[in-house]
Structure 1
Amino acid sequence: DLNRKDRRLYDSATAARALTTAEFAELRAAGAVVVDARDPQEFAAGHLRGAVNVPADGRFAEQAGTVLDPADRLVVIAPEQREEEIVTRLARVGFDRAEGYLAAPEAALEALADEVAPAGRVTAAHLRTALTGDHPPLVVDVRTCGEREANGFLPEALHIPLSELPARTGELPTDRPLVLHCAGGHRSSVAASLLRHRGFEDVSDILGGYAAWALTATEPATA
């Protein structure tokens, strides 16, 4: 649909502008969506509440297109020296409403400390214990059908591929903890951040993904 419309030429020099902490905070308060392109582990250590994690080192364009809305105004937190790259990559797939990127994000996150939170990440061993408790979480598998068939799956898990998650969040309970997993922990961070952005409160993902879960199944028991 975007390709059929007349559009002005994209100017990366003006689009990818550095935002001060005050400008960034004002845009965020006005409804701009924070796209955090840092590594999932760095994102999990501390991120702005409501930010959507789409890591730069991955299938960035595809995943951005999956979890973001082209109608949204965006503000970007990017890995160092990759700010303009991230804004430009967003524009290439139709997300050309990026207002800019946060300059000096480490200092800015310190200044916005009241709005910063860690992301819940659990180990496979912790999840195994939780699933036997009185109030087990709902496990959500965001891998593709082919991955499940080839590598196995948790019988308890609800299968919603990442590509379908934005349209199927209504199938998820809001009164029960959710634990998401993919193959290795990348897509699950994207998916979990999307759910938190949409108002789900108790959302975690599995460190190491299904690969870590399968490994714990083969580890010998310890006394």
Structure 2
Amino acid sequence: LRAAGAVVVDARDPQEFAAGHLRGAVNVPADGRFAEQAGTVLDPADRLVVIAPEQREEEIVTRLARVGFDRAEGYLPAPEEAMEALADEVAPASRVTAARLRAALADERPPLVVDVRTCGERQANGFIDAALHLPLNELPARSGELPADRPLVLHCAGGQRSSIAASLLRRRGFQDVSDLLGGYAAWALTAPESATA
């Protein structure tokens, strides 16, 4: 199914996903606003294969169907075993800490920080200086605006939506993509006041 173009929807927690996932998989965590976020980054015409947290495979397929994704063609009943068998196809996802991001932003060639939160979140909570604002719901249509030759670090409020966004960009061929561990909340807790607006 993957070879024929099916999209792997990995519904595990972002930390589990980051530890190792099938290349090209899109991480849409089951816990949280799963249906809404799946609808944001997936196309109802896509054929889907689901990787779910243990014993939640049928739940995830059902939740997808309820929002119009009725082309889920299967799921992996034992993802850990499947990933062992497909070890050459498994990769970790890069996640950076706020301290590491601050250091990288001081480099000669800093990464581009992409804020995938809503306008209201940015206004209410602040933002990272020089971050490009590209809300998650706009990312599928606007990903072509991002530079393919520059490191990208995506962030949201707490780290879930940025994992979704980063996985989508990797699927679309972006090579150097990370997300901010703990999101803007972690940045705000550790960054000096001058680094926020």
TM-score range, shorter chain: over 0.9
1:36 pairs, out of 10, 21, 24, with 10
Cα contact 2:157–2:184 (8 A) shared by 1 = yes
Question: Which residue in the other structure is 1:81 paired with?
Answer: 55
The residue identity in structure 2 corresponding to 1:93 is V
Residue 95 of structure 1, CA deviation: 0.4
- Aligned with 2:191: secondary structure? helix
Cα deviation 1:96-155 (Å, max 9, x = unaligned): 001010121111100000000000000000000000101100000000000000000012
Post-superposition Cα deviations, 1:21-60, rounded to whole Å, max 9, x if no partner, equal xxxxxx1111100000000000000000000000000100
Q: Tell me, what secondary structure is at the counterpart of 1:100?
A: strand
Give the aligned partner of residue 98 of structure 2: 124
The 2-side partners of 1:72 and 1:53 are apart by 15
Deviations 1:4-27 (A, max 9, x none): xxxxxxxxxxxxxxxxxxxxxxx1
Q: What displacement does 1:218 show?
A: 4.9
Q: Distance in 2 between matches of 1:71 and 1:106?
A: 28
Match of 1:104 in 2: 78
Q: How does 1:12-91 map to 2 (within 5 A)?
A: 27-91=1-65
Q: Which residue, out of 43, 48, 66, partners 1:92?
A: 66
Structure 1 segments (4+ residues) deviating >3 Å: none
Secondary structure of the structure 2 residue equivalent to 1:28: coil
CA distance in 1: counterparts of 2:189 and 2:181, whole angstroms:
12
Q: Does 1:177 align with 2:151?
A: yes
Amino acid corresponding to residue 215 of structure 1 in structure 2: L
Q: Return the alpha-carbon distance in structure 2 between the equivalents of residues 82 and 111 of structure 1.
A: 21
State the alpha-carbon separation in 2 of the partners of residues 202 and 155 from structure 1.
Answer: 21
Please list every run of 5 or more consecutive structure 1 residues that lacks an aligned counterpart in the other structure. Answer: 1-26
Contact 2:98–2:191, Cα closer than 8 Å, also in 1? no
Q: Which residue of 2 aligns with 1:159?
A: 133
Question: What TM-score comes out, normalization by structure 2 length?
Answer: 0.96
**Paired residue for 1:204?**
178
Instruction: Report the 3-state secondary structure (helix = DSSP H, G, I; strand = E; otherwise coil) of the residue aligned with 1:194.
Output: helix
Which structure has the larger Rg?
A: 1
CA contact (8 A) 2:8 2:48 kept: yes
Which residue identity is paired with 1:100? G
* 2:104 counterpart of 1:134: no
Please give the TM-score of this superposition, normalised by the length of structure 1.
Answer: 0.85
**Aligned counterparts of 2:68 and 2:139: Cα–Cα separation in 1:** 20
Letter in 2 for 1:96: D
Aligned partner of 2:166 in structure 1 is 192
Taking the aligned partners of 1:124 and 1:156, their CA distance within structure 2 comes to 15
Residue segments in structure 2 that go unaligned for 5+ positions in a row: none
How much does 1:170 deviate?
1.2
Q: Secondary structure at the match of 2:8?
A: strand
